Amino acid sequence: MTIDLHTHSAVSDGTDSPADLVAAAARAGLTVLALCDHDTFDGLADAAAAARGSTVRLLPGIEISARLGGDSVHLLGYGCRTADPALTAELARIREGRRRRVPAMLAALARLGMPLELSEVARFAGDSPSVGRPHVADALVARGYVADRNQAFARYLADDGPAYVSRYATEVATGIDLVHRAGGVAVIAHPWGRGGERQITESLLVGLVGRHGLDGIEVDHNDHTPAQRRSLRVLADRLGLLVTGSSDYHGLGKLNHPLGCHTTAPAVLGEIERRIDLFGGSR
C-alpha cells in the first residue's frame, strides 16, 4: 500500500484538475491519496468520482491557512464534515482574506516596476475559490518578470519579500478545534520547513496536544532535511503524535515534489481512519 496524504489540485494552487490528479496518482502507483486543497473542499466531489473508477482510494482532506502569532502555520484536516457550519464559515473568512490582499500585492509589485492587472491573476486562478500568491506568481511568469514560481517567491512573494501582504488566518489552536468539531483529524503540515523549528517547538506541541488534542505532524516532506525528520520522529514518539509523510504535490506548480516521493505508513492511515470514525467525520 502506497499512501500520499498531502496533494493539491487546480481548485486551489495545483495545476491538475481533481480528476487528473487521481489519474496521475494511479499512474504513480499510489493506492491512497488525500486531496488537501487550500481552504476549500470544492475539489473533493470530482476527485471522489474519479477515484470510484480507479485503483486509487481517496481520503478527503484540506489544508487550512493558520497562524501562530504572526507566523504562518499550515494545518491539515482529514475526514472533516464538509458542511460543518463553524468550519465552513471560518474557511470563507480565510478565503476572503486571500481575495482582499491581491490588489495590495499588485500595488507593491507595480511600485517595484512589475505592473500586473487583476484580470491576469484571475486568468491563472480560474474558478478556484482560494486565490493565492501562486496565482500572482504565475502571472509574473507569464509577463516574463520571473522564470518560475520559485523565483517569484524567492524574490518578491515570500513572507519576508517586498511584495508580501499579510492576510487573515485562523490561530492554529482554533483550527485544530474546528477540525475536531467537524469530525476530522488534525495534523500540522511540514512543521519545520522554512525555519519553522523556531516556532513549532516541543513546548508548543506539548500544549497543542494536551489542550487541543493535536493528532499528528507531517514528518516526511521535502521541506525537511534528513536530520530534521529524525528529530521530528523522536519528538512525535515522545508526545504520542502520529507521523505522516507526503509529497505536497502541486503538479507543475511546485518543482521536485512528485507524487509518492514521501509516504505514510499503512498503520498510521489506519489510525487516522479509526479516529475519523470515532469523531464522527466523513470518509
Q: What is the mean pLDDT of residues 98-114?
A: 96
Phi, psi of 247 (to 5 degrees): -85, -30
Tell me which residue range forms the domain holding 7: 3-77+169-279
- In this prediction, residue 253 carries a pLDDT of 78
* Distance, CA of 157 to CA of 279 (rounded, Å): 38
State pLDDT tens for residues 32-67. Answer: 999 999 999 999 999 999 999 899 999 999 999 999
| Cell numbers representing residue 16 in the block | 491538475
pLDDT (mean) for 127-134 = 89
User: For residues 32 and 54, is the Cβ–Cβ distance under 8 A?
Assistant: no
Of 51, 125, 70, the C-alpha closest to 95 is: 125
pLDDT at 282: 95
On whether residue 269 sits in a domain, the answer given is yes
Question: pLDDT-derived band of residue 77, with 50, 70 and 90 as boundaries?
Answer: very high
Counting Cα atoms < 13 Å in the Cβ hemisphere of 201 gives: 5
The predicted-structure confidence for 177-225, as pLDDT tens digits, reads as follows 999 999 999 999 999 998 889 999 999 999 999 999 999 999 999 999 9
For range 97-105, the mean pLDDT: 95
Task: Please say which residue of 157, 179, 205 terminates a domain.
Answer: 157
pLDDT greater than 90 at residue 70: no
- Grid cell 492587472 in the structure block, residue: 117
CATH number of the domain to which 121 belongs: 1.10.150.650
Is the same domain home to 225 and 97? Answer: no
* pLDDT of the residue at 90: 98
Claim to verify: residue 135 and residue 186 sit in the same structural domain: no
Structural domain tally of the chain? 2
| pLDDT on residue 256 | 85
Query: Is the pLDDT at 176 greater than 90, yes or no?
Result: yes
pLDDT of 119? 95
pLDDT of residue 227: 97
Residue range 104-108: mean pLDDT, rounded: 97
Give the 3-state secondary structure of residue 228. Answer: helix
Which CATH number do you get for residue 14?
Answer: 3.20.20.140
Q: Name the band, by pLDDT with cuts 50, 70 and 90, for residue 135.
A: very high
Instruction: Give the pLDDT score at 69.
Output: 85
| 18 shares a domain with 148 | no
Categorize the per-residue pLDDT at 252 as very low, low, confident or very high, splitting at 50, 70 and 90.
Answer: confident
Same domain, 42 and 139: no
| Average pLDDT of the residues of the chain | 96
- Is 179 found in the same domain as 72? yes
Q: Is the pLDDT of residue 17 over 90?
A: yes
When pLDDT is averaged across residues 85-107 and rounded to a whole number, the result is: 96
